[in-house]
Amino acid sequence: MTEPSSAGPLQWPFVGLTVLLVLLILATPGLIGTGGPLAASGAAAACLDLDHYPGGNVTRFLVEACIGDVRYSELTLRLAAHPGWPVVASTHNLSWGYPLNVSESDWAAESTLANPVALNVSAVYVDSAGTTVTYVGAYAFNSTAGSISIQPLMSGLSSASTLALTVLPITLSLVLGPGGSS
């Protein structure tokens, strides 16, 4: 009479599955706590949220991560009141006010009564390996009764549009800044 083996054929698939899972965990950097996403990943990207209440005269801006929570080493927002519309599509011919600088934060917000107004944004992210990326964007905004016009002031951003205030808030893109990552 033979005794049953303690390492029967049904256990080998579980051993193989365990080895596979361990390899996947080690090969996937996002599953190991690194203090945040990799700088080169889309999870580090910043976006601009725009809001303007119908019947109100305040335009609100919020810069934060497009996906999840990301702590940025520096967030900078600058406003420029503009006397006319449309704005000439350049950030160089505007008089930017004092910047709102926020360090080591996952968001920064600014609001204004100015109309039309331009906004210049940058979000600097440094990952745990020391790689730095900067996301930038510059837009001009003009609100009228019931709508807001949006004009990008740099290439690579969303195209110009006019939206009803009732569809706000919306999210606008920021792009990888000069030099990309370092």
Residues 102-121: tens digit of each pLDDT: 999 999 999 999 999 999 99
Please tell me the pTM assigned to this model: 0.77
Contacts of 97 (CB under 8 A, 6+ apart): 78, 79, 80, 81
Helix (H) or strand (E) holding 120: strand 117-126
What pLDDT is attached to residue 158? 85
Taking residues 127-145, report their average pLDDT. 92
Q: If pLDDT is split at 50, 70 and 90, which confidence band does 22 have? A: confident
Which domains, and CATH codes, for the chain? 42-181 (2.60.40)
The strand pairing partners of 138, in sequence order, are: 120
Neighbouring C-beta atoms of residue 72, cutoff 10 Å: 27
Q: Beta strand pairing status for 100-105 and 107-112?
A: unpaired
pLDDT in tens, 25-44: 666 655 445 568 888 788 89
- DSSP secondary structure, 131-168, as one string: -EEEEEEEEEEEEETTEEEEEESSTTSPPPEEEEGGG-
**Type of residue numbered 80:** A
Task: Return mean pLDDT, the chain.
Answer: 84
DSSP state of 55: T
E strands in 39-116:
46-52, 59-65, 72-81, 100-105, 107-112
